[in-house]
Amino acid sequence: MFGYHVPAPDQAMLISGGKPGGDAPFRVVTGHGAYVTPFFRKYEFLTLSMFEAEVDEPCVTKQGIALTVKAVIAAKIGNDQESIVNAAQRFLSDQNQMAMLTGRIFSGHLRSIIGSMTVEEIITERQKLATEVLDGSKEEMAKIGLIVDALQIQSIDDGGLGYIRAMAAPHNARIQQAAQIAQAAADQASAEAQQQSLRMQAEYERDTAVTRAGYEAETQAAQQKAAQAGPLAQAQAQQEVINEQTKVAQRQAELRQQQLVSEVVKPAEAEAERVRILARADAESTEIQAAAAASSNRVALDQLLIEQLPLIVEKAAGGLANANVTLLNGSDGLSEVVSGLVGQGLAIFDSLRSNVGADKDDKPAIERAPRATP
C-alpha cells in the first residue's frame, strides 16, 4: 500500500515530521508496520542486530609491567524506546560507528581495570577482569543506547619480557616434576607389570604343562577304560537287545494266545455248547415222544380191553350155562348173579390192564395180549 511501511524483525522504524507522543522527538515503530504520509512525514530504519567490537590495547599493570590485552565485545542497541532513541540520535547517520565507539570505550575501561591489578591476578582471575570491565562500562554504554551481551578476554601478552613465562616457571617445574614422578612411577609400574607378566607367563606355561600332562594321563586312562569297557558295553548292549527281543517274543506269544483263544477256543466252546444244547433238546424231545407214545398205547390198550369186556363176561356166563344154579329169590337173585358176572369181568379187566402197563418192553398191549376168540 502506498505510504505503508513495515520494519524488519531486527529493525526499528523512526518516523519524523509529525507531532510525536511523549518525550521522544520522533515516533519509534518495531514489530509492526505504520502508515507514513508522503511529503509530510519521513522515516528511517535503525538496526537492532548484534555487532562485534575488538580490543587490542597495551596496558600497564599495578606492578608497572606492560601487557597487551586482546578482547572481543558483543553488543547491540537496547530494545526499549529510550535506548533506540539514544542510539538513533548518535548513530543513525553512520551506524558502523557503534562498533568503533564500543571498542574505544572498552579500551579505556580495560586500561583502567588492569592498572589496578597485578599480573598474577590478571592471569589467574580473567573472569574477574571481564566482570569489572563490564560493570565499569555499563553505565556509559547505556547513555548511548547500547548494551553488552558478552566480553571475552582472548589473550594477555607481556611483549617478550618473560615475566609471564617466569611466573609460570614454578608451576611448570612442579608440573614437570610431577610428570617425571608420574613417568617414573609409570615406568616402574610397567617394569613390575612386565615382570608380573613374565612370572604369570612362566606359571601359565608350568600350569599348562601340568594340565596337559594331567589331561594326557586322563585321556590315556579314559582310552584304556574305553578299550576295556568296549567288550563289556557291547555285551551289555547285546544283552539288552536280547531282553528286548524276549519281551517282544513274549508279547507276540501273548497276542497269539489271545488270537487262538479268540479264533479257536471260543468258537469250539461255543460249538460244544451248541451240541450239548441240541443233544439235551433231542433227549427231552425223545422223552416227550416216548411219554406221548406210552400214553397213546395205554389209551389204545384200554380201548381194546373195553371192547373185549363183553366177550369176557359172555365167557363167564357160558360157564354158568351148564351149571346147576338154584335161584332162591327169583328175579332179585338173577340180578345178583348177573351183577356178579359183570363184577368178575371188571376185575379181570383191571388185572389185565395193570399187567399190561408194567411190561418192560413198552410194547403196545394189543400186541402182547392174546386175542380172545369169540
71 forms beta bridges with 55, 153
Q: What is the pLDDT of residue 57?
A: 87
Coil, helix or strand for 335? helix
Distance CA 363, CA 369 (A): 10
Q: What is the pLDDT of residue 332?
A: 57
Q: Indicate the average pLDDT of the chain.
A: 78
Place of cell 451240541: 275
Q: What is the pLDDT of residue 20?
A: 62
Q: What is the pLDDT of residue 51?
A: 92
Q: Which residue type is seen at 47?
A: T
Place of cell 571475552: 152
Among 63-77, 159-173, 231-245, which range has the highest average pLDDT?
63-77
Quick check: 78 and 6 in contact, CB under 8 A? no
Against a cut of 0.75, is the pTM above it? no
**What percent of the chain is helix, strand and coil (3-state, nearest 5)?**
65, 15, 20
Report the half-sphere exposure of 245 (CA within 13 A, side-chain side).
6
Place of cell 411219554: 291
Fold type of domain 4-167: Tetrahydropterin Synthase; Chain A (3.30.479)
Given a cut of 90, whether residue 172 has pLDDT beyond it is: no
What's the pLDDT band for 374 if we cut at 50, 70, 90?
very low
What's the pLDDT band for 76 if we cut at 50, 70, 90?
very high
- Residue of 307 and 75 predicted with greater confidence: 75
Q: What is the dihedral of CA 97, 100, 101, 102, to 10 degrees?
A: 120
Among 42-46, 194-198, 257-261, 336-340, which range has the highest average pLDDT?
42-46
- Residue of 165 and 335 predicted with greater confidence: 165
What's the pLDDT band for 298 if we cut at 50, 70, 90?
low
DSSP 22-84: TT-SSEEE-SS-EE--TTT-EEEEEE-S-EEEEEEEEEE-TTS-EEEEEEEEEEEE-SSHHHH
Given a cut of 70, whether residue 37 has pLDDT beyond it is: yes
Mean pLDDT of 344-371: 55
- Residue of 330 and 207 predicted with greater confidence: 207
DSSP 145-171: TEEEEEEEEEEEE-TT--HHHHHHHHH
What's the pLDDT band for 75 if we cut at 50, 70, 90?
very high
Q: Tens of pLDDT along 255-273? A: 888 877 777 777 778 788 8
Q: Tens of pLDDT along 319-329? A: 555 555 454 55
Q: Tens of pLDDT along 200-228? A: 888 888 888 887 787 688 778 767 776 77
Q: What is the pLDDT of residue 371?
A: 43
- Residue of 40 and 359 predicted with greater confidence: 40
Q: What is the pLDDT of residue 196?
A: 85
Q: What is the pLDDT of residue 234?
A: 72
Q: What is the pLDDT of residue 333?
A: 55
Locate the domains of the chain by residue range: 4-167
Given a cut of 60, whether residue 14 has pLDDT beyond it is: yes
35-55 as b/e: b if 16+ CB within 10 A: ebeeeebebebbbbeebebeb
Given a cut of 50, whether residue 363 has pLDDT beyond it is: no
Mean pLDDT of 109-132: 88
pLDDT above 90: percentage of residues in the chain: 8
Given a cut of 80, whether residue 316 has pLDDT beyond it is: no
Helix axes 331-357, 266-321, angle to 10 degrees: 150
Q: What is the pLDDT of residue 352?
A: 64
